[in-house]
Amino acid sequence: MRRFAALFPGQLSEKAGMGEALAASHPRVASFFDRVSERSGVDLAATFFGDGRPDLHADLPAQVGVFAVSVAVLDVLAEDRGLFPSACAGYSLGTYAAFVGAGVLDRWAALDVLLEAERLLRERAPAGAMGFVIGLPELEVASELARLTRDPQEVAIGNVNAAQQVVLTGRREPVLRALDHLAMHALKAEALPLGWPMHSPALEPVSAALAGFVSMRVRLSWPGRAALYAPMLGRVVRSEEEARQVLSGQIARSSRWVDVLLAMASAGETRFVEVGPGDLLSKMHRWTLRSSRADVLEDPSGIARFASTLGAPAPGVSARPAAGEEVA
């Protein structure tokens, strides 16, 4: 059985050189990168190939680059090996690629939502901060935060990545104070290089504006070809209405990645792959689902190794269209 669950990374997974080997090996990927560059204003090759540019970690290039590489990996899996995921989940920014992988949203519509979200964040989001805490259970972190403030917009748990790893989000000074406080008890507590309070209720106005864009401008294909899971819900998405809520609302809602992994495993998924740059999600996978494996698919060699373990056909054999390519 060629069943596998695709996990899509978010911002901070971007790195120099990502996508270069895929573009060199697959002309269609190079063409796709060119179209993404034109549509987004981010020159992917100039920004990421080789040693990369110093600004590759800036919000817009990072988000566009991670999305483009993730979708390119989906294309290579589909076109060369005839492989399509049975389930998809995206970590934060990875939500947009997950919608494409599940066949719920066309790639160009997904990119448009990403670009609109970035524009709204840049224009309307309050300054903020995020930081991770390792070595304390969620309930203990929540209890300590309640001692510091009763306002979740100041500081709250934005991501629950594993049993003892959470990410704080909120206004800069309250987040930094909370990290200092929790560092006395945790194995590690550090700020992340992010300037927006992602997955915080402070972003509700941005989420509301994005919901209007999604309602007016975005057409979904429901149900898709694969199960779509959402960290905002901590489970599978059950309707088109929920899918729209996730697409616009996940930036302002807490992300329960650990619950998504457990839900996927409970639904019968045993083979997981990280689709895109980096290996952060594969590490989170090991922390939660120790009995199954997670492959990292970001270049041609990794894709080939994974495909061979599934007994996929030789390159060039594909019975279905590329991921998210149904609508131009």
Q: What pLDDT is attached to residue 324?
A: 59
Q: What pLDDT is attached to residue 1?
A: 63
Query: For the whole model, what pTM was predicted?
Result: 0.94
In degrees, to the nearest 5, what angle opens at C-alpha 254 toward C-alphas 252 and 256? Answer: 145
Q: What pLDDT is attached to residue 91?
A: 98
94-141 pLDDT tens trace: 999 999 999 999 999 999 999 999 999 999 999 999 999 999 999 999
Q: Is the peptide bond before 231 cis (omega within 30 degrees of 0)?
A: no
Confidence at 294, pLDDT banded by 50, 70, 90: confident
Confidence at 326, pLDDT banded by 50, 70, 90: very low
Domains of the chain: 5-124+202-309 (3.40.366.10), 129-194 (3.30.70.250)
DSSP state of 255: B
The b/e string for 232-249 (b: 16+ C-beta within 10 A; e otherwise) is: bbbbbbeeeebbbbbbbb
In degrees, to the nearest 5, what angle opens at C-alpha 105 toward C-alphas 3 and 321? Answer: 60
The residue type at 104 = V
Q: What pLDDT is attached to residue 88?
A: 98
Q: Can you tell me whether residue 232 is helix, strand or coil?
A: coil
Q: Which residues pair with 133 in a beta bridge?
A: 166, 189
48-69 pLDDT tens trace: 999 999 999 999 999 999 999 9
Q: What pLDDT is attached to residue 312?
A: 86
Sorted by sequence, the CB contacts under 8 Å of residue 259 that are 6+ apart come out as 160, 231, 234, 235
Confidence at 318, pLDDT banded by 50, 70, 90: very low
Per-residue HEC secondary structure of 141-162 comes to HHHHHHHHCCCCCCEEEEEEEE
